[in-house]
């Protein structure tokens, strides 16, 4: 599969300021596949060291951090010569060998000529459990499940992908039927590579749902294996509550919806564990739409989303036929799928932080709010062909320099106070700042 992040890896390779690379991402989003493909395609040879599969790798880092000795030991284990600029070194599941992660600092300082990268599915957990992280000494990327435009490329080809992501927005209406059908399929599959590949291989939808269920089971196993007994039950409670939290008209996370009388202190460690594992996204609230938005973050209010809407569909046993066949599926599943879907596209296409906006005095609330340079982009998700946008219009009245965006099933149109983007073009939201 071709991933959008590949272009960033190419820029990393050619950068004169390149540092060792750390690739973040949840389990089974395709990190290993991507890094192996990059190494094999872009270098004369690729050395892959999997810390979970080879006990000898830990021994490499038990005798200090002299990079010349580490390279020599890597050559012995891999049976390959490692040459600067010609060899790509990939340390997989690096969280299992904390000193391997720490060694990246010394590659940055003492041996920058080597192209070395590391990845790990539960890397965030390892870092918060005392693993020495080379802050400031590494470049960092995050890989998410396939975005919709990546799904379109796999299903419909490169030409369709280019049209969706680069053509003038007002020309996309000619693709509306095929993109709407692809979006319906993507609502079911989500973006986990194994599920998408199964779809491309024409496996039955029941088989695809089994794959999704197995990924969820793997996540549950990770929780049981790596979480402390003190918070294990609460992690499961938070994880299981997310779809119901998102289905509310106000999708703000409410502790009392998990357990009557619950408070933040009861569940904050459980939420942090899920964030560290990379399987939930936390979107904080801002009460004031000022620049920079980060100044106005409200730490007491947030929304939680799952890593992938396809997995969420499997988690709640959303009927397959309704997703694939029901004509008003995008409206029917607005609460549980569409806001989640839009967030996933933002995370994949927008490099900044995503917030939601709520003014408790005026009761004005917007699904998302992002800052592109010095421009605010408020976003309202409609899901159906509803063209009312009272909140957006009020926000624009209060902030006339903003660029409001309404996401709906209607075609692209530019209005006096806002821009309507079709749901299938959510990846184009960052362009609205231009």
pLDDT tens across 140-186, in order?
A: 999 999 999 999 999 999 999 999 999 999 999 999 999 999 999 99
| 250-290 tens-digit pLDDT | 778 999 889 888 888 899 999 999 999 999 999 999 989 99
Distance CA 105, CA 111 (A): 10
Distance CA 152, CA 431 (A): 19
Distance CA 242, CA 400 (A): 35
Q: Is the pLDDT of residue 128 over 60?
A: no
User: How many CB atoms are closer than 10 A to CB 310?
Assistant: 32
- Quote the pLDDT of residue 127: 67
Strands 413-414 and 419-422 turn out to be antiparallel
- Quote the pLDDT of residue 92: 96
Q: What is the mean pLDDT of the chain?
A: 92
Q: Is the pLDDT of residue 131 over 90?
A: no
- Whether the bond between 129 and the residue before it is cis, its omega within 30 degrees of 0, is no
Tokens of 322: 């309704």
Q: Give start and end residues of each alpha helix (H) in 142-263.
A: 148-156, 158-166, 176-189, 193-200, 205-226, 229-247
Distance CA 270, CA 121 (A): 18
Q: In what order do the strands lie in the sheet with 115-119?
A: 45-50, 87-92, 115-119, 21-24, 139-142
Q: Give start and end residues of each alpha helix (H) in 285-375.
A: 309-315, 320-325, 329-332, 339-349
| 94-127 tens-digit pLDDT | 988 989 999 999 999 999 999 999 998 877 776 6
Tokens of 313: 């569909």
Average pLDDT over residues 64-90: 96
Q: Is the pLDDT of residue 367 over 80?
A: yes
Structural domains of the chain in order of their starting residue, each with its CATH number: 5-142 (3.40.50.300), 148-433 (no CATH)
pTM for this model (two decimals): 0.93
- Quote the pLDDT of residue 383: 67
Distance CA 18, CA 299 (A): 34
Helix (H) or strand (E) holding 307: none
Longest dimension (CA), the chain: 66
**β partners of residue 405:** 379, 419
Give the contacts of 99 (CB within 8 A, at least 6 positions apart). Answer: 58, 61, 62, 65, 132
């Amino acid at each position: 599969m071709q991933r959008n992040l590949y272009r960033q890896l190419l820029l990393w390779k050619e950068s004169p300021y390149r540092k060792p690379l750390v690739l973040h991402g949840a389990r089974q989003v395709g990190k290993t596949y991507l890094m192996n493909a990059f190494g094999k395609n872009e270098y004369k040879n690729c050395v892959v060291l999997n810390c979970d599969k080879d006990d000898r790798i830990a021994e490499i880092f038990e005798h200090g951090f002299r990079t010349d000795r580490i390279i020599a030991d890597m050559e012995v284990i891999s049976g390959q010569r490692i040459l600067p600029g010609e060899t790509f070194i990939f340390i997989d599941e690096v969280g299992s060998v904390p000193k391997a992660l720490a060694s990246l600092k010394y590659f940055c300082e003492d041996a920058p000529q080597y192209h070395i990268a590391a990845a790990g599915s539960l890397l965030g957990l390892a870092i918060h459990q005392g693993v020495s992280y080379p802050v400031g000494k590494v470049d960092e990327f995050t890989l998410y499940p396939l975005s919709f435009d990546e799904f379109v490329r796999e299903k419909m080809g490169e030409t369709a992908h280019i049209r969706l992501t680069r053509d003038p927005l007002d020309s996309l209406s000619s693709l509306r039927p095929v993109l709407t059908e692809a979006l319906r399929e993507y609502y079911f599959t989500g973006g986990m590579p194994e599920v998408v590949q199964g779809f491309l291989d024409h496996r039955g939808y029941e088989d695809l749902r089994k794959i999704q269920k197995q990924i969820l089971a793997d996540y549950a196993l990770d929780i049981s294996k790596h979480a402390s007994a003190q918070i294990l039950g609460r992690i499961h409670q938070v994880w299981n509550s997310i779809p119901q939290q998102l289905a509310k008209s106000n999708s703000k996370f409410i502790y009392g919806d998990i357990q009557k009388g619950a408070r933040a202190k009861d569940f904050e460690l459980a939420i942090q564990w899920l964030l560290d594992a990379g399987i939930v996204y936390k979107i904080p609230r801002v009460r004031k739409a000022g620049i920079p938005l980060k100044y106005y973050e409200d730490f007491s209010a947030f929304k939680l989303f799952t890593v992938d809407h396809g997995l969420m569909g499997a988690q709640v046993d959303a009927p397959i036929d309704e997703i694939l066949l029901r004509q008003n599926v995008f409206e029917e599943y607005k609460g549980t799928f569409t806001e989640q879907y839009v967030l996933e596209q933002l995370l994949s296409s927008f490099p900044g932080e995503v917030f939601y906006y709520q003014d408790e005095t005026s009761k004005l609330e917007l699904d998302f709010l992002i800052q592109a340079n010095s421009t605010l982009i408020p976003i309202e998700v409609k899901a159906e062909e509803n063209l009312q946008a009272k909140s957006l219009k009020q926000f624009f009245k209060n902030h006339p320099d903003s660029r409001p965006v309404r996401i709906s099933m209607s075609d692209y149109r530019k209005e006096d106070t806002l821009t309507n983007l079709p749901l299938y073009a959510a990846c184009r939201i960052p362009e609205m700042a231009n």
